[in-house]
Structure formats: C-alpha cells, structure tokens
Structure 1
C-alpha cells in the first residue's frame, strides 16, 4: 500500500475533482483504492455520497455514542448505514476518553472505498496544534494525537487491502493538513497556471521540508514502538496542471507566461534545489483540460464525467467530449501508477 496526498495551499484549482476522478479511474485499472477525505469541508465525501447517505453520516445518529444507544434511529438501505466518519474516529482523543476508534470504510463500488470526512473535523485543529509542540518532548498523548490520522488510515487501508490511498486535504498549511501530510508517502500537487498557484508553491515547498525534518529528526526517534508512526516521507510525485476555461491549443499569453515559470518554481521551492532548468518538465505529470460543460451533468448523474451516457444528457458532440475525458484521465492514472511504483522503490531503500 502506498499513499498519495493531493495538496495545494491555494483553493479552487480542482483538487477534489481530480481526487474523485482519479480514484474512479485507478479502480477501473484493477487497483484497490481507498479515498480519504481529510478536508474539513468534506467536498470529496459530498461528491461520492448522496444527501440521504450524508444525513445518515452527519446527523446526530452518526456519533458513536448515539449509534450505540439508539440503533433504531439509523437510516436503512444506504451505503452509510452503521458507518462512521473520521470525526467519529478521533472523538475519543478529542474528549480525552481514549485513543482512536476504528472506522470501516464505506464501499463505493467494487474495489473503491471511502473514509468519509465530516465538518466536525475542524474542531481537531487546536488539539493537533498543541499535540505537535508537545510531541517534541516525547509526550505519548501528544504523539497519539499527531499520528491519529496515520493510524486511522492505516487500519482502514489494511481492512480493505488497498493498493493506493488517495488523501484529499484542504487548501491551507494548518495543523490538520500537517497531520494529514506527514501520514502521506507521496504528494501530488494540482496547479493552475497563475500567480496564486506559484505563490502557493513558494510557501508550500519549504513548509513540507520543515515538517519532514522536525518529524524525522526530533519527534520520530522518541516514539515508542507501541505507537505506529509515519515516516513523513512526503515524496514529491509531481504536479498536474488544471486548465482554465480556454482551448488547450490556444492558451492566452498570461497563461503561457505562468506556465513557463512552473518548472523552475517547483524544482527550487518544492524539490529544494538551488536552481532548476526552466525547461525541465520531468515533474509535470499532465495538463488536464477544463471539462466545465460536463460537470453539471456528472453532478446530476452522480458519476464521473467520463462515465456520462446519452441518458445523462451527454448527446452528440458532448459524448465525444466524454470519450476525450476518459482517455485523458486514463493516461493520467497510468502515469501516476508508474510514478508510484518508482516512489515505492525509493521508500524501500
């Protein structure tokens, strides 16, 4: 099993859309995929589950205590009947009553599972901030708090024998994302070719290296063997450029200008090199065109864009667009799988 965090500290670049479609396409390739929603906004969970299922998860009866004491109030005949979220898993830590609770992933389809998010996850931010500082001194309670996401994900991945774990995180450099990212083997960055994404890379790269250094050099040597802990490798897998609303073959001048700067910024800020050739795009995985015209249809049909049929409203030229979407996401998934194999070999060294 290898994990990938999809992260950019700039919002609105299509990160969750990429995670959703990548999860489905990797599953089509015969891989067992666990999607994990660690964004407190829970957009990935909302994209996968319908409103009835979300109500079952996020209502009062989604809490562990309520589920156990009032089982008759659970909603029936949904994929989320009797299921819990990540917020339920960390509730014992939040309330000071124990360690993480096991969460069984929701079966989305054969070979694809979801570890659901919850808006209540935002309440964990302060606890994680304090835990990070206290873990420097080897405090076991602080270490259990900081490693909570890693241990929840690891348990869930093993329970479904996942090949790849995709972790969707929010667009910031706060304590929740720090705990999520140190749990990840690799990091995939969706980018827009604009000033804000490049500025985000300049902040993100040094921060990831700082987190890795402090965890590996200060905290991890003090962690007792009884507490499973991540290596915080966070290997940069590469970046995916998410195209704005314009034709791929005719990018506007501003787009070209920012596009040309991405390799150098990524090489220096994220990879940590003193310099990087401006034309070296070896970490550029793909450029995904804008499929905004397919999004409303996919949302209504509650399926990936590349699965849309005529019955979903994908008629005429739109159906050809759906086929192009399928081909591009398939190529993206194949390239990411190849890069993950290389990363897996690096992790074993």
Structure 2
C-alpha cells in the first residue's frame, strides 16, 4: 500500500479503538454534503450526520435536494406547510413569488423521537419544485450581469446563505448542515456559496471516483462555472473540504475487518485525486480528511427505511423491512464509531 493509503487505514483502525477519537471541536459553522453523483448514500449519511451533530451543538439542517430523501427520513409522514423553496423563490426571484415566510424550520425532536436527548435542532424541509429552480436562478444571474450589477449577482449567489443564517439565529443554532442534490446547478451551487466546508461522500466504484474529481476540479479550477460566478460577484470564498467519506468499503470482503482489494484500490485512487487538490483541504495531509465507512448492510437498510439513526439501533434487535426480517448485529458498534470519527474531524 502507498503511504497515503496506509495512513488512511491506520487512522480508521485507530478510531475504532477505545479512546481513539479526539474530542469534537468543529472548525466551521456551516457544512454541506455534496458530490455530483447520485446513489452513493448521501442522504443516509446526511441523516446520520444530522443526528451526530445534534448530540454536540444545536444544528439547523436543510434539505436542498428536490428528491427530498432527507425530508422523508426526518419528517416521515408529518405535514409541512413551508419548505426551503418558499424561502428561496422570493429571495432570488422577487416578491411576485410571494413573501418570505416568518418561520421555515421545524424542531427535529418533535418530528423524530430518536433525536430527543440532543441539542435543540431544527429542520428545513425539501421542495420538489427545486427541480425547475436552476433555469430561473441563472436567468436572474444573467440579467444582473447584463445590467452590470455586481452587487445583485453577489446577493443572488448568497441568497441561500442569508436565508439559513437568519433562520440559524432565530432558532439559536450553532451549526448548519445542508444535504445537496447530485446536480451542481441551482440550490447546490447556492449551497457551495453558503458553506464554510464541504463533506464529500464517495462510493467505492468508478463513477464515484470520476465525480470526486469533477467536484474537486469545480472547486479548484479558476475557469470552472463555480469560480467564474464567484469572480463575477466580486469574490465569494469557496468552501474548504473537511472530509471525504468513503462508503461501502469492504462490501465485497469475505474476511471480517479486512478491506477487499477493490475497495483498497478505489480508496487509493480517491486519495490520489484529493492529493492533486491538497490546497482545498482543512487537513494539512488530505489523507487525514478521509473517513472509512463499511458496508452498513442491514443496519443501513434499517436506518434508512425506519428513520432510525445508526447509533440508536440496538444490537440483537429485529426489524421488518419490506417483508424481510432483519437483525442488527454487532457491526453496528463499528458503524457508530465510524460516524463518531467523521464528526470528530469536522
């Protein structure tokens, strides 16, 4: 194994040991979970990370993906009268799209009993109409550019930041967590402008490595759409990369605790991509920003289907999912440690 890969797996194994995780001290106020690919466990990670953050700090959580998977996980069948779209549309497009709502978030512990016992945290529901939001957003930006109005460009790009910052202060939250869509345009673009730091989940497969490279290049390349618009706005600080979360590692390994060769190869390739963009990372060595998460298997299915954070699952307990009876095994203890380690490096 290369030096970088060795360091990543050593960090992982150390984090599983008693006392192997450093105390949590968040380096940033606002985080977004983003990668330009779907199907990598992003919303499951966001759901569990929302739980982990709320154990330490009052947290405002926002679902910016029009698929609304995080909304379903947190709110289940709860009725919602306001969503992120209700706040963004008048902010970006003008008062013709309605007035800004006075209150756009819901207390999470009132929606999901498993969040009780943590810090008072709040959730802003997703909006399926955000599928059509990019075209309206870029039309507004182009009009502002055509008028030579740099201030308007900046106000539009920072509209989500302003919405979330207002709500964060109203609800006395200390952290903000955003779950983004797998598409850059629209709300994800605004989330990057609103975030101090980005958390990038990467599944151990070919397409995920490509999407990691695309994501980091979009942040780093001065000729990327993100940086071109940031310059047109007179300068918008790009988010730092706080973590690269490798998901489904070891999924094909027949030996407990041993990562299969394919997983090792993809983790190493992800590190090589990250090393090319080392200046983006909080950590001096990008290897220290990598977090390994195993194949959650039944625990992940139960967590996602029943909206139970993985740390709240009880070893030995049975759950029925889509007609299948699944049991939480002792690997849940390992998964919990991995989530704790991720939280500790943010």
Say if 1:194 and 1:259, in contact at 8 Å, map to a contact too. Answer: no
Q: Helix, strand or coil: the match of 1:190?
A: strand
Tell me the distance in 2 between the aligned counterparts of 1:9 and 1:251: 25
Say if 1:5 and 1:167, in contact at 8 Å, map to a contact too. Answer: yes
Q: Which residue of 2 aligns with 1:106?
A: 106
Q: Which residue of 2 aligns with 1:173?
A: 184
Tell me the distance in 2 between the aligned counterparts of 1:120 and 1:296: 28
1:234 Cα deviation from its structure 2 partner:
0.8
Say if 1:182 and 1:211, in contact at 8 Å, map to a contact too. Answer: no
Give the TM-score normalised by structure 1.
0.74
Say if 2:317 and 2:328, in contact at 8 Å, map to a contact too. Answer: no
Call closer, same or farther: CA 1:272–1:115 in 2, change over 3 Å: closer
Q: Which residue of 2 aligns with 1:293?
A: 298
Say if 1:190 and 1:240, in contact at 8 Å, map to a contact too. Answer: yes
Equivalences for residues 61-100 of structure 1 within 5 A: 62=81, 84-92=82-90, 93-94=92-93, 96-97=95-96, 100=100
Q: Which residue of 2 aligns with 1:32?
A: 58
Query: 5+ unaligned residues in a row in structure 2: which ranges?
Result: 1-27, 110-118, 320-324
Count of matched residue positions in the alignment of Structure 1 and Structure 2? 293
Call closer, same or farther: CA 1:259–1:143 in 2, change over 3 Å: closer
Call closer, same or farther: CA 1:295–1:257 in 2, change over 3 Å: closer
1:106 Cα deviation from its structure 2 partner:
0.7
Say if 1:307 and 1:322, in contact at 8 Å, map to a contact too. Answer: no
User: Which of 214, 227, 242 in structure 1 is aligned with 2:228?
Assistant: 214
Say if 2:315 and 2:330, in contact at 8 Å, map to a contact too. Answer: no
1:138 Cα deviation from its structure 2 partner:
1.7
Equivalences for residues 52-63 of structure 1 within 5 A: 53=78, 56-57=79-80, 62=81
Q: Which has the higher contact order (CA 8 A, sep 6+)?
A: 2
Alignment of 1:124 onto 2:138: no
How well do the aligned residues superpose, as a CA RMSD in angstroms? 3.0
Say if 1:90 and 1:148, in contact at 8 Å, map to a contact too. Answer: yes
Query: 5+ unaligned residues in a row in structure 1: which ranges?
Result: 63-83, 222-230, 337-349
Call closer, same or farther: CA 1:38–1:326 in 2, change over 3 Å: same
Task: Indicate the larger mover: 127-136 or 235-244.
Answer: 127-136
